[in-house]
Amino acid sequence: MEFSYDVEGGNFAKAGNAASSVKKVLKQLNVDPKVIKRIVVALYEGEVNVVAHAYKGKVLVDIDTDRIYIKIEDEGPGIPDIDLAMQVGYSTASAMVREMGFGAGMGLPNMKRNADKINISSKVGEGTIVELTTNLSS
Amino acid sequence: MKVCDIIEKLNLKVIGGEEGLQNEVNGGYTSDLLSDVMGNVDEGQVWITLQTHRNVMAVASLKEVAAVIIVKGLEADENTISQSNDEGIPLLSSDMEAFELSGELYQLLKG
């Protein structure tokens, strides 16, 4: 099964729409609720990253019987130093984003912790691709 | 203990999500950082925060919390309230500060 969702940069009102929709699908497929929670946390953080940092992005979700693959691709400023971005507490979020309770430097680490496999590639000035893969059978 | 029991004992105001007032409460989590809540709150807990925007309800729904309590009498945004109603997750309000409210709720759940 494949799904795709558009994510608008700057539009916090819609952040979480993809995560919410994927959650419903996984529930219908009777995936272990603990596994669903992990997937949903990782995807939500990914959506928020696009909203907070990029101009626009796309979430592609591919589900088969034993794994879910999620690709979050954006057009945005890119990440100059991925290792630094992965550090808990490091953030380049704006003051407005921080005031909302985002931008605490926990997004990417949360994504890593809640996916079985994470792959990040980024080009400064072009955008970022985050790929998450998680086994559905616990 | 249910959400409606906590409302009565802590004198909370119901702002939205009345459908979920019978939700069972098994603990609480106090934080204003959404990623922290995303990573650490557990299903069935009450989330205490000063954040009032609608992303609060997105996180609350994804993590299936029992209820959200906004502290210091802060007013929730209109779309936060409507999302609370859509999701059926109670959005509550207290005049207490987070420290005080967390302490009271802790005592209540421990007792």
d(CA B19, CA A125): 47
Chain B residues lying within 8 Å of A41, measured CB to CB: 38-39, 62-63
Q: Hey, what are A91's tokens?
A: 């953030």
Domain range annotation of chain A: 2-135
d(CA A99, CA B32): 9
Mean pLDDT by 10 residues, chain A (138 residues): 96 94 96 95 97 97 96 98 96 95 94 97 98 91
Per-residue confidence (pLDDT) for residue A96, from 0 to 100: 93
Q: Hey, what are A105's tokens?
A: 């430097």
Per-residue confidence (pLDDT) for residue A138, from 0 to 100: 63
Per-residue confidence band for B111, with pLDDT thresholds at 50, 70 and 90: confident
pTM: 0.93
d(CA B43, CA B68): 12
Q: Please name the residue of chain A whose CA is at the shortest distance from the CA of residue B54.
A: A13
pLDDT in tens, B84-94: 999 999 999 99
Amino acid at residue number A79: I
CB contact under 8 A, A107 and B35: yes
Contact B52, A100 (CB under 8 A): no
d(CA B67, CA A56): 32
The CATH code for residues B3-110 is: 3.40.1390.20
d(CA B92, CA B36): 20
Q: How far is A110 from chain B (nearest CA, A)?
A: 6
Reported ipTM: 0.88
Q: Please name the residue of chain A whose CA is at the shortest distance from the CA of residue B32.
A: A101
d(CA A18, CA A68): 14
| CATH tag for A2-135 (out of 3.30.565.10, 3.40.366.30, 3.40.50.300, 2.60.120.10) | 3.30.565.10
Interface test with B, best of A32, A106, A108 (most B CBs within 10 A): A106
Contact B111, B3 (CB under 8 A): no
Q: Hey, what are A68's tokens?
A: 């879910």
Chain B residues lying within 8 Å of A12, measured CB to CB: 53-55
Instruction: Sheet with B45-49: list strands edge to edge.
Output: B13-16, B91-93, B67-70, B45-49, B27-30
Per-residue confidence (pLDDT) for residue A137, from 0 to 100: 84
